[in-house]
Amino acid sequence: MNFIYSDTNKRYHTLDYYYKNIFKTKIIKISLNAGFSCPHLKSGGCIYCSDSGSGEYAGNVFDNLITQFNKGKELMNKKWPNGKYIGYFQARTNTYAPTSILKEKYETILKLEDVVGLSIATRPDCISDECLEYLNELNKKTFLTIELGLQTIHEKTTKLINRGHNLNCFVDMVNKLREKNINVVVHIINGLPYETEEMMLDTVKFLNKLDIQGIKIHMLSVLKNTKLEKLYNEKPFKILTEKEYIEIVCKQLEYLRPEIVIHRIVSGPKIEDLIEPKWLTKRITLFNEIDKYMKEKNIVQGDKLYNFKN
């Protein structure tokens, strides 16, 4: 079976394929830590967040942005000497600052050679009207993607993980961004405490109805020195097995429109901070097992929507 958004053995719409079709060359994302904070820290922050604010593999915050970028580029250039770059503002909430500061940081990276765009990770409750207008301007002159954390559509879980915003807030921001034709990528987490497989599938089914361009699928990581670690120790909850995660992800892919780009399908926490699940350290194996499962079950992205098998 050939999948229309793949030129490899992948049966889902990969980010590499997406970029190659737009830019006709290899695109590399360089993760950056611009030193932003998070407004939600005042109320304790999300219970799974580490001190890095989901920026485990972002640059060193003690280096300036140009140094961070060049260090990343130097590493990637050895493998892809002719590639182009997207600056990925990853750590914490990357729209949580006055617009003047955002402009300074974003445009510092945009001025660098071979940079073709920006990817900005943030929260749906942290894009002001002024910021939105600036993003609109930015979108007209570069390839811009806004990554919004959602994690789950379920209110009970949202409160448990102390997410700090509701589903309506998220949907409202997706609509505002799309009104300005800004690409939106959504982060979700599988295996959140006490969620069932059905709940995880419902999150994806809901997102499929929205005008989003991409998704990042994470497995919940219990990390050292987080509130989630304390919860796990005091009130242990089920951690998905590797097999369960693979099966759930593949089922989720069946409910996503084929044109939605899968920006991430396996998360990669720092090994030294990981408490559970230990199988997350085998990222390459997980990628391969997902491919194998989809082939064995004759699954491609969007199956449940379009019945590609007939």
Number of other residues whose CB lies within 10 A of the CB of residue 48: 24
pLDDT tens per residue across span 178-201: 999 999 999 999 999 999 999 999
pLDDT of residue 56: 57
- Full DSSP string of 171-203: HHHHHHHHHTT-EEEEEEEES-TT--HHHHHHH
pLDDT band at 310 (very low <50, low <70, confident <90, very high): very low
pLDDT of residue 52: 53
Assess whether pLDDT exceeds 70 at residue 241.
Answer: yes
For the chain, which domains are there? 15-305 (3.20.20.70)
- Percentage of the chain surpassing pLDDT 70? 95
Report the alpha-carbon distance of residue 156 to residue 263 in Å, rounded. Answer: 27
Total residue count of the chain as it appears in this document: 310
Phi, psi of 176 (to 5 degrees): -65, -40
What residues pair up with 88 in beta bridges, in sequence order? 31, 119
Report the alpha-carbon distance of residue 164 to residue 125 in Å, rounded. Answer: 9
Residues 218-225, mean pLDDT to the nearest whole number: 95
For the whole model, what pTM was predicted? Answer: 0.94
